[in-house]
Amino acid sequence: NVRIAVFASGSGSNFAALNKACSVGDIPADIVLVVTDKPDAFVVERAKQANISVVALRPRDFATKQAYEQAILDALEEAQAEWLILAGYMRLIGSVLLNAYPERIVNIHPSLLPSFPGKDAIGQAVAAGVKVTGVTVHLVDEGMDTGPILAQRAVDVVDNDAQKTAYAIHATEHELYAETLKDLFNN
């Protein structure tokens, strides 16, 4: 199995879905570490319940982004992580991690990129009045929500309502991320 580290800053619903898919063998991978920049995030609770080690480091406790990422890299190497899987990690990946994991970092984003990159992609889509948005899984490069696209799936905007649309997006994310990683790691 592939050894993966999941990066998250929030509730961790994508982490939970991936952990389930790994546990039942749908994705040929093991989550060996959860990395967060938010020690209070709910994903930390979820990881502890799943008996997965967590590295929770605050960027502001480090002098530079390089030093912050080097501390993460030390933990990744200790855990022998082979791929980095971003699941709601709300921070740009810098040169230290990009150089250590070239073309081995995957992100999920709640829009059909290149539309609506950055924060609150679902709110951006509703505000723009589009009727269809969706989910993108892509390889990470130095840009924000750029990098080669691995998979996309459309999701209808529901009642011009961000919350109702978010519910549909999240369900699609959980399916699409598992399917995409399954294909990626089987090849």
Rounded-to-integer distance, Cα 30 and Cα 145, Å: 25
Q: Give the interface segment with ligand GAR, choosing from 32-40, 57-65, 102-110, 146-154 (CB under 6 A).
A: 102-110
Contacts of 5 (CB under 8 A, 6+ apart): 31, 32, 33, 34, 35, 76, 79, 81, 83, 84, 85
**Nearest residue to 102 via CA among 84, 88, 78:** 84
Residue 180 sits in the site that holds ligand GAR (CB under 6 A): no
By CB under 6 A, residue 115 contacts ligand GAR:
no
Instruction: State which of residues 2, 4, 8, 105 lies at the interface with ligand GAR (CB under 6 A).
Output: 8
Question: Is 137 among the residues that bind ligand GAR (CB under 6 A)?
Answer: no
12 is in an annotated binding site: yes
Told to check if 13 binds ligand GAR by CB under 6 A, we report yes
Shortest Cβ 11–ligand GAR spacing (Å): 4
| Nearest to ligand GAR of 69, 173 (CB atom) | 173
The strand pairing partners of 122, in sequence order, are none
Residues forming the site for ligand GAR (CB under 6 A): 8, 10-14, 87-88, 108-110, 121, 145, 170, 173
